[in-house]
């Protein structure tokens, strides 16, 4: 069988239905979206966290991703996010500079750096000293965690530092 479910090799209704379901799922994944254009990136203000955010590779955007999703986070100059924890994440800094506190340990970053946030680690992102927005790709296993019923996001209860005059149109997206 070599790891594939092919209807011809199965006799019971149970196995045939599974094979049909898997085939339909595969077709759905293959026909899902493959690209997002920058004109479709819709940064939205998230005041409780103190960041601008847009989904990039998400099911909401028409992708049939099952394991990971990718969001764009923008941390304006002179700001910081709230302290929060969740399942693991990978942050790739596209531009800007700042630092992240992970369980109270400081990690400075700049464009080109990648930060790993471990499962359940309290963390907070800062862009206090830079004069430009920090633009970050956030890569998270949210679809898998949703499927497994393991999406846990907890906030410590602090408030973000906000730069109300900054608007995303300065990014050129």
| pLDDT per 10-residue tile (average), the chain, 173 residues | 54 86 88 90 92 94 93 96 96 97 98 97 96 96 91 91 88 65
Question: Are 75 and 129 in contact, with CB atoms under 8 Å apart?
Answer: no
3-state secondary structure of 10: coil
**Domains in the chain with CATH codes:** 38-165 (2.60.120.10)
Cα–Cα distance, 121 to 58 (Å, whole number):
24
Interatomic CA distance for residues 38 and 60, integer angstroms: 16
pLDDT in tens, 30-80: 888 999 998 899 999 999 999 999 999 999 999 999 999 999 999 999 999
**Cross-strand pairs, 116:** 90
Distance of CA 78 to the CA centre of its chain: 23
Give Cα 2 to chain centroid, integer Å: 33
Q: Are the C-beta atoms of 122 and 155 separated by less than 8 Å?
A: no
CA neighbor of 109 nearest in space, from 89, 88, 130: 130
pLDDT at 11: 75
CA neighbor of 117 nearest in space, from 66, 81, 147: 81
Q: For residues 56 and 93, is the Cβ–Cβ distance under 8 A?
A: no
pLDDT for the residue 2: 45
Distances (CA, A) of 8 to 2, 5, 19: 14, 9, 9
Q: Are 127 and 134 in contact (CB under 8 A)?
A: yes
């Amino acid at each position: 069988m070599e790891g594939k479910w092919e209807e011809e090799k199965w006799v019971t209704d149970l196995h045939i239905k599974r094979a049909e379901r898997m085939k339909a799922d595969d077709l759905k994944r293959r026909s899902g979206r493959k690209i997002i254009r920058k004109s479709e990136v819709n940064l939205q203000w998230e005041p409780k966290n103190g960041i601008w955010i847009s989904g990039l590779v998400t099911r909401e955007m028409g992708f049939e991703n099952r394991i990971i999703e990718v969001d764009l986070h923008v941390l304006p100059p002179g700001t910081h996010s709230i302290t929060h924890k969740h399942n693991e994440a990978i942050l790739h800094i596209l531009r800007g500079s700042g630092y992240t506190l992970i369980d109270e340990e400081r990690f400075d970053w700049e464009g080109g750096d990648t930060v790993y946030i471990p499962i359940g680690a309290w963390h907070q992102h800062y862009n206090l000293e830079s004069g430009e927005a920090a633009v970050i790709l956030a890569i998270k296993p949210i679809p898998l965690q949703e499927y497994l019923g393991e999406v846990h996001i907890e906030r410590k209860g602090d408030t973000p530092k906000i730069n109300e005059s900054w608007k995303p149109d300065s990014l050129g997206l």
